Amino acid sequence: MNTLRKIEQIIELCLVPKLNKNYDECKNHSEFGIRNKNLDKNFYLLQKQLEAINFRNCNNPESVISQLLILYFELSSKNTWDEANCLKCSEKLNSYFQTFYEINLSNVIFQNAVFNHQEIFDKCFENLHKKLSPAEFKKYPTQIDVYLRLIKNIKRYNVTIVPSKILPTSLNLIDDYIIENKLNGLKSCLSILQCLNNDAFEQGNYFEVVYISLRKLITEKDNEATKLVFECLLALYNILPADSKKQKLDEMYNAVLDQLIIESNLYRKAECLKFTKTIISIHKIHCCSRIIFFAIISDNLDLCCNEAVSEVLLETVLETLKEWIKYCWCVWKFSVGHKILSNLFKVLYCCKDEQLVPEMHNIIVTLIKLCDDAEKKSIINNLEIVDCTIKNDFINRINAIKCDVK
């Protein structure tokens, strides 16, 4: 038998085999114990084979080296399926490479010093994805762990990345119902997207697959997942083909506004508003189309009359409204947005954060100045008859607005 082929077979015996049940379906999996029980024997056989071969003299040794790297990461994970001898075996693998090739096994993917690190990188993910299919990936928790550890350092590899060959496991994790898997999938997806450039999706439309997986998670209620989804969507937008950008921004804008209409969790609401502000800054005048934006801002300003809510939301609401005014002021109508002005005055009355008062002042003055003359006159007349018994701070704030409007 070919020596390289024999090494591959022994490596497979050293890895945790496919579980009989999904990892999350029970707490005890016999496969972990079986691997740990037989590891010393199989690893001894592997060492003997490695000592008898010089990879420098082999044709295309990168396939086997990539499998050794996967084995190294699995044995060194310090996870629930590993025992003390697993870490010792990983150290021996590293020691072998250091002795024979003057490079740590953990570094073969970082540099071309001895072996082709691009080929090792490609083979690692090819081998992992043979097991981590949509139907089977939860029966290979150790290989998922290896995948995540490889992705963690992806920015340092200096390799060419083909999205369709590296993203599938991230997308499988994102689509899973277990929140830990979703978060791990989103983190790895973000790391990958941040390494890609503008020509990453020139060949084919794989970006649609990625986008659909991320778009579905806009409804996810976990706050950390919400943050990561928005980061991933923005990272994906940056590398989309130019002819797809506008449509995707339209869809993202509509989707996040739909979330803001129904969202009750203040912290997730704040994340949605931040994402909305970012989209407005990119999409500019194209954000005029959804009049529901007025109702969303008005409702959230109303909530900010409560001091505890104000501490979480007010600054973000004001920043989002200010960004909208910057680009969409031309469609402002007092007849549609009068509740925003009304609620701005209510918040101005309640606000105890002096740093936010100038922000509200500027927004109120701007919105009044955007009204027609009759509306402006009516607003100023109403400000003239503000009850003088109201606290002095508010009277001073109103007087400052009247002064700037006039």
Closest CA to 344 of 321, 375, 311: 321
8 A C-beta contact, residue 128 and residue 70: yes
Pairwise CA distance, residues 241 & 201, whole Å: 7
Neighbours of 164 (CB within 10 A): 14
* 322 Cβ contact list (under 8 Å, min separation 6): 359, 362, 363
Distance CA 171, CA 200 (A): 17
Dist CA 122 CA 103 (whole Å): 19
The pLDDT value given to residue 80: 80
CA 136 to chain centre: 24
- C-alpha to C-alpha distance for 361 and 342, rounded to whole angstroms: 13
Nearest CA among 115, 207, 108 for reference residue 163: 207
Q: Which amino acid is at 163?
A: P
Q: Which of 245, 191, 255, 261 is nearest to 217 (CA)?
A: 255
In whole angstroms, what is the distance from residue 283 CA to residue 207 CA?
Answer: 20
pLDDT in tens, the chain (406 residues): 488 899 999 999 999 999 999 999 988 899 999 999 999 999 999 999 999 899 998 888 999 999 999 999 999 988 888 788 899 999 999 999 999 998 999 889 988 878 999 999 999 999 999 999 999 999 999 999 999 999 999 999 989 999 999 999 999 999 999 999 999 999 999 999 999 998 888 877 899 999 999 999 999 999 999 999 999 999 999 999 999 999 999 999 999 999 999 999 999 999 999 999 999 999 999 999 888 999 999 999 999 999 999 999 999 999 999 999 999 999 999 999 999 999 999 999 999 899 999 999 999 999 999 999 999 999 988 888 766 566 678 888 998 999 998 7
Residues in the chain, total: 406
Residue (of 377, 355, 290, 276) closest to 322 by Cα position: 276
Q: Residue 225 has what pLDDT?
A: 97
The Cα-based distances of 338 to 152, 289, 344, 376 in angstroms read 49, 18, 10, 12
Q: Are 59 and 135 in contact (CB under 8 A)?
A: no
Q: How far apart are CA 32 and CA 141, in angstroms?
A: 11
* Rg (alpha carbons) of the chain, rounded to whole number: 29
Tokens of 267: 């912290």
What is the distance between the alpha carbons of residues 18 and 32, in angstroms, rounded to a whole number?
10
CA dist., res. 363 & res. 342, Å (int): 12
For helices 223-238 and 206-216, the axis angle rounded to 10 degrees is 160
357: Cα separation from own chain's centroid? 33
Could you identify the residue written with the tokens 């700037």? 404
User: Which residue intervals of 153-241 are DSSP H helices?
Assistant: 163-166, 168-174, 179-193, 206-216, 223-238
In this predicted structure, what is the pLDDT of residue 2?
Answer: 83
How far is it, in rounded angstroms, from Cα 340 to Cα 320?
13
**Token representation of residue 317:** 């609401």
275 by DSSP, 3-state: which?
helix
